[in-house]
Amino acid sequence: MKHLKSLCSLIGLSILLTGCWDSRSIEDISLVIGVGIDLEEESENISLGHQIIVPPSNGGDSSQGSPFKNIYTSGKTVHGAIRNLALRDDPVYSDHQRILLIHNNVLKKYTLDEVINQLVKDDKTRRSLYVFTTNESIKKIFSTTDSDEIPSNQLYSLIENRGRSTKILPAVSLGKVSSNLQKKASFVLQNVEVINNQVALAGGAVILNGHISDQELSVDDIATLNWLTGSIEGGVISTEKDSMPLAFEILGDVKVQVKSEYKNDRMYFTIHSEAQGRISEDWNEEEDSFKEDYSADRGRVIEDEVEDRVLDFIHMLQTEVKSDVAGLSEYVKVQEPDFWTEHKNEWNRYFTEAEISFNVSVTVEDFGTKGSIKKRISDM
């Protein structure tokens, strides 16, 4: 029995000391953090940019070089371009990929469904990665960085600024893109550009039936779209009161209620939005924050500004874009199921002919410290 216990202990130690038999050093693999898809200028083959993490040296000193490297390959298909990477670098692992950046020219030649086909089929690619579009070259964006930050990480992190800006779309994941394409829904992908040698979020690319539209949205259009859909977590809207600048800071999420109704072969939408915040800037020297009507008066000015912007934007969607990128069809599916079953293939026509009303209620909860200072001075 004593010899049996010794034998078992010896076997156990051998297993523990062996470690992972199929393990590989992190320096011997390529961890892809971002992928960019472009067209080769000469052949118009698919061109892929792979942004790969460069791990610190064995000594742990990461200051000796860049924390990333970019490798570019090409092929007739996305998968072919990926496999051509094996001719130039260590095996590629996409488990940690965070972003997919697609040049708009690619989507003018191919459908979005064709472009992401391989990525959706690959069980190693994260469906939670963020998808963006751009008019800039992939090489320019992937090489633009400050403080040795990885551009793909910078781009990924910009989405987290939605609590400070209304001009950022909710993150659109690879899984969401695939779902929208399966539903044949129209939607918007945020554009990326380089401004003052920094990667920045810009306007948006409109995707209709898997194709990119010639109609692009500006960064201000993105803000208005977010007002229409209630996709706002914070930010600022600026306008004028008596020809003087006025700014309203949104505190918390904007809430939206949508009511749809089908009658007389036409869709009707009533959209009500609610926002709370504070007057963060008011250049009117005669302002008196303690007057009873101050908050209500400024609130009405903000409401008028938002309503004008949204109604103009709806008109543009119906007459120029001619597609429901605001996702109003999701409300119709629930509220008017019989209509949707019969007319879903004609939705874009019904959307362009729909009567859509929009109003917003703004609650001014705070007006900063200026009013408080003036009040204390007047009491002295």
Top pLDDT among 295 and 306 is at 306
As a whole number of angstroms, the distance between CA 284 and CA 244 comes to: 6
Residue 125, pLDDT > 70, answer yes
As a whole number of angstroms, the distance between CA 262 and CA 290 comes to: 46
Residues 241-289 pLDDT 10s: 989 999 999 999 999 999 999 999 999 999 999 999 999 999 987 777 6
Residues 188-241 pLDDT 10s: 999 999 998 899 999 999 999 899 999 999 999 999 999 999 999 999 999 999
Closest CA to 346 of 265, 258, 268: 265
For the chain, give percent helix, strand, coil, nearest 5: 40, 30, 30
Residue 95, pLDDT > 60, answer yes
Within 13 Å and on the Cβ side, how many CA atoms surround 153?
A: 12
pLDDT band at 8 (very low <50, low <70, confident <90, very high): low
Pairing of strands 30-39, 68-75: unpaired
Closest CA to 168 of 183, 157, 152: 157
Q: Please provide the average confidence, as pLDDT, over all residues in the chain.
A: 87
pLDDT value for 233: 96
Pair 230, 255: CB distance under 8 Å: yes
- Who's near 369: CB < 8 A, 6+ residues apart? none
Residue 37, pLDDT > 50, answer yes
As a whole number of angstroms, the distance between CA 86 and CA 91 comes to: 6
Residues 146-200 pLDDT 10s: 777 899 999 999 999 999 999 999 999 999 999 999 999 999 999 999 998 899 9
As a whole number of angstroms, the distance between CA 98 and CA 242 comes to: 47
Residue 63, pLDDT > 60, answer no
Closest CA to 130 of 11, 215, 8, 36: 36
363 SS3 class: strand
pLDDT value for 44: 78
pLDDT value for 238: 96
In this prediction, residues 2-18 reach a mean pLDDT of: 52
Pair 354, 260: CB distance under 8 Å: no
In this prediction, residues 81-107 reach a mean pLDDT of: 85
CA 236 to centroid of chain Cα atoms? 18
Among the residue ranges 36-45, 51-60, 159-168, the one predicted with the least confidence is 51-60
Top pLDDT among 365 and 253 is at 253
pLDDT band at 23 (very low <50, low <70, confident <90, very high): very low
Pair 292, 277: CB distance under 8 Å: no
Residue 378, pLDDT > 60, answer no
pLDDT value for 377: 34
Residues 322-347 pLDDT 10s: 999 999 999 999 999 999 999 999 99
As a whole number of angstroms, the distance between CA 236 and CA 254 comes to: 12
pLDDT value for 14: 52
pLDDT value for 306: 98
pLDDT value for 74: 92
As a whole number of angstroms, the distance between CA 135 and CA 271 comes to: 34
Query: Within a 10 A sphere around the Cβ of 330, how many other Cβ atoms?
Result: 15
13 SS3 class: helix
Task: Please tell me whether the overall predicted TM-score, pTM, comes out greater than 0.95 for this model.
Answer: no
